[in-house]
Amino acid sequence: MKKLAGIGLLVMAMAPVASAWAADEGDVNLFAGDVGNAIWTLVIFLAVILVLGKFAWGPMLSGLQRREQFIRDSLEQAKADREAAEAQLAEYTKRLDSATTDAHAIVEKGRRDAEEVKLRVEERARTETDLMVDRAKREIELAKQAAVKELYETGITLGSDIASRVLEREINAQDHEDLISASIDQLDELDRN
């Protein structure tokens, strides 16, 4: 505003010089007039400058300053928002990486646990199979011993019947029992050897 007023004063001061120069030329002079007109023109010009400065340029300048401040504040807010968004993105990326690592760890733990359960089940099945085989072998051995004993008893009974016929006398029950016991003892000794 001060610059504009200075330019206006310079133009007003140059008006009489321009007027005199134009009068010498003989042309139509826009600045023709006397000093009184120049002073009144200067006063009116200064009044217009003052009125415009107070009612037009002041509000326009303050409006422009408010707009400039609003733009500056908006830029600062946008910068702060961008920095906050970048920080949040970094945090989300970190959480995602952590979740991915945790998921891999959970999957790996599940795989190890499944392998461990598989090994335990196989071991238990192997143990139960071995127990069943051992039990079956014992049962077979007991059945074999019972069958052999029954076979010997039958053989002894047949042998004693044949012997009694050959001897033509009947062996009494006590002789028969003694003969069976002695034969079974002999068979047990043979099995042990």
pTM (2 d.p.): 0.38
Q: Would residue 168 count as lying in a domain?
A: yes
Using the predicted structure, report yes or no on whether residue 168 has a pLDDT greater than 60: no
Using the predicted structure, report yes or no on whether residue 73 has a pLDDT greater than 90: yes
Q: Would residue 185 count as lying in a domain?
A: yes
Contact criterion met (CB below 8 Å) for 38 and 16: yes
Q: Would residue 148 count as lying in a domain?
A: yes
Q: Would residue 153 count as lying in a domain?
A: yes
Q: Would residue 188 count as lying in a domain?
A: yes
Helix/strand/coil for 27: coil
Q: Which two tokens stand for residue 161?
A: 């019947």
Q: Would residue 164 count as lying in a domain?
A: yes
Using the predicted structure, report yes or no on whether residue 70 has a pLDDT greater than 80: yes
pLDDT tens, position by position, 96-121: 999 899 989 999 999 999 999 999 99
Q: Would residue 151 count as lying in a domain?
A: yes
Confidence class for position 1, pLDDT limits 50, 70, 90: low
